[in-house]
Chains A and B, each alone.
Chain A
Amino acid sequence: MKLLVPVKRVVDYNVKVRVKADHTGVETANVKMSMNPFDEIAVEEAVRLKEKGAATEIIAVSAGPTACQEQIRTALAMGADRGILIEHDGILEPLAVAKLLKAVIAKESPDLVILGKQAIDDDMNATGQMLAALLGWPQGTYASKVEPADGGIKVTREVDGGLERLQLKLPAIVTTDLRLNEPRYASLPNIMKARKKPIETLKPADLGVDVSPRLTVLKVEEPPKRQAGKKVGSVQELVEKLRNEAKVI
């Protein structure tokens, strides 16, 4: 089984983002960037499938500016075999990313594509589903377990009331949820080895994909700030306040 794992470069989850003074977006200059945490889980799952002998090759793909190479290198250090960078400096919406990935998939013919369920910057939760639609493939989103079974894959999904299990035909799309695995840290020797692994660079035009955004961001604002309230001294005082001041119980 050949695996493709899309990885996105995002503002690190520990950074508290600030809205730009001119309301055109958030401040991303000089902030720490990392691989989207759900994509680390996706890479880890791919590497585990390979270690189990269920997969033969793992390709990590990222779309965005040249610096996305860093996230591809991280994936290579975790165990991916080679990388593809689709270089583009403007906004890439999930539909555009899905079209780019579809074009790469036409060339690479993977059996399984594992994406993150959502990118923690734009929180769209869309790319995997959109890619599945464009390819006409089945989708197993919010996966907490992935097992090759009966010539396809069995996916356990985190849904609103609990868990559900699906059997998908291959090729298929899976998106990762938090409980799928705990991603490894790349070891120093593996980081060194990853430097020698190949990364191919493509442009959206090479893939014949129009990536023009469909959404225009009119403005970005800060949400209303919540004021810290008061400390209460005892449980009795808390219950009294909830009953008589806030009137919520």
Chain B
Amino acid sequence: MAVLVLADHDGSAVTQPTRSAVAAASKLGDVTVLVLGPRTAADSAAKVAGVAKVLHTEDVLYANGLAEPLAALLVAMAPEYSHLLAPASAAGKNVMPRLAALLDVQVISDIADVVDADTFVRPIYAGNALATVKSADPKKVITVRAASFDPAAAEGGSAAVEAAPKGEDPGLSNFLGAEIAKSERPELTAAKVVVSGGRAMGSAENFHIIESVADKLGAAVGASRAAVDAGYAPNDHQVGQTGKIVAPDLYIAVGISGAIQHLAGMKDSKVIVAINKDEEAPIFSVADYGLVGDLFKVMPEFESELAKK
């Protein structure tokens, strides 16, 4: 039976976490991708390696990702699919459990591996344990941890794009507006390099120290919960158990102590650098390279050293 992936897109193309979900779905069957939004995003999905079919609609009902109409649409589409997947993004985590309950199945959240059609690995307890779970449900509803699957290639596929079915509007909620930051920097969950700042940054102004080093490296900017709570960085920068999960080639933690909740979001990074003035800080226990020092002295030096070739 075919497998459905609900895509996230940035207005023009499907996101890298969506391509990771496609990679996970490819282990389960022929992949159909559902794209709700502009045609260019559907066309980008059709080019992703391993995608057999794209279903597309520009219906304004789905323009703002409201969970209620979206879950209703997915329920109507569900009979044709054995598995329904989405990246474990804010959007995927919002709608997939709702879909699962409507189908009377237990959602399987944030999978890190596919063992077989019924069996999946998922991290629990802030990633301190990995549970292998087997589902007895007739249909599987799944969210996929993007950091655990190499994304399917953005080019190489040539799937047909067809019209998605029309769904009902339960009329329960209204979208009022959003404040979405537009940034030139790469997306946190897709970046090859991430530079994150913690409570030690001390102010939103000082956070520019992180941003300018990030820009030298073409990196995304992250933060600890403490830095977000204090208002030094916006909420969508939070890395950790209850924020974003990242696994870049290089993660640089600056003035971050390394609480388990933070480690849960970055310890699968290939190379970790820690910059902290306390040589006992737990972050050093996961760091490949540790530098003990005052960040306000180290970071400007780091930036000028990077400028040298």
Contacts A168-B173, A215-B134, A222-B129 given; does A246 touch B97 at CB 8 Å: no
Residue B125 at the A interface, CB < 8 A? yes
Contacts A129-B95, A144-B235 given; does A123 touch B107 at CB 8 Å: no
Residue B79 at the A interface, CB < 8 A? no
Contact A136 B170 (CB under 8 A): yes
Interface stretch of the complex, out of A79-87, A158-166, A198-206: A158-166
Interface of A is mostly: mixed
Closest to A125 in B: B93
Contact A161 B181 (CB under 8 A): yes
Q: Count A interface residues, CB 8 Å.
A: 80
Contact A123 B106 (CB under 8 A): no
Contacts A139-B68, A229-B287, A248-B271 given; does A214 touch B125 at CB 8 Å: no
Contact B235 A163 (CB under 8 A): yes
Contacts A125-B93, A229-B289 given; does A179 touch B101 at CB 8 Å: no
Interface stretch of the complex, out of B28-36, B43-51, B204-212, B299-307: B299-307
Interface stretch of the complex, out of A44-52, A60-68, A103-111, A236-244: A236-244
**Per-residue A-contact encoding for B205-249, CB less than 8 Å = 1, 0 else:** 000000000000100000001001100001110100110100001
Please report which residues of chain B, range 168-195, place their CB below 8 angstroms from some CB of chain A when the two chains form the complex.
170, 172-181, 193
- Contact partners of A129 in chain B: CB under 8 A: 67, 94-98, 101
A17 and B123 alpha carbons, distance in the complex (Å): 13
A120 and B170 alpha carbons, distance in the complex (Å): 32
Contacts A17-B129, A217-B133 given; does A235 touch B302 at CB 8 Å: yes
Contacts A167-B176, A169-B172 given; does A238 touch B101 at CB 8 Å: no
- The answer, among A159, A179, A218, A230, for a CB contact under 8 Å with B134, is A218
Interface stretch of the complex, out of A1-9, A69-77, A93-101, A186-194: A93-101
- The answer, among B98, B135, B178, B301, for a CB contact under 8 Å with A132, is B98
Residue A228 at the B interface, CB < 8 A? yes
- Contact partners of A218 in chain B: CB under 8 A: 119, 132-134
Residue B131 at the A interface, CB < 8 A? yes
- Contact partners of A163 in chain B: CB under 8 A: 178-180, 235
- Contact partners of A134 in chain B: CB under 8 A: 101
22 pairs, CB–CB < 8 Å, chain A vs chain B: A95-B101, A122-B125, A123-B241, A129-B96, A129-B101, A133-B98, A139-B94, A141-B67, A159-B178, A162-B181, A164-B178, A165-B176, A166-B173, A214-B105, A214-B136, A214-B137, A219-B132, A228-B286, A229-B272, A235-B301, A238-B305, A242-B250
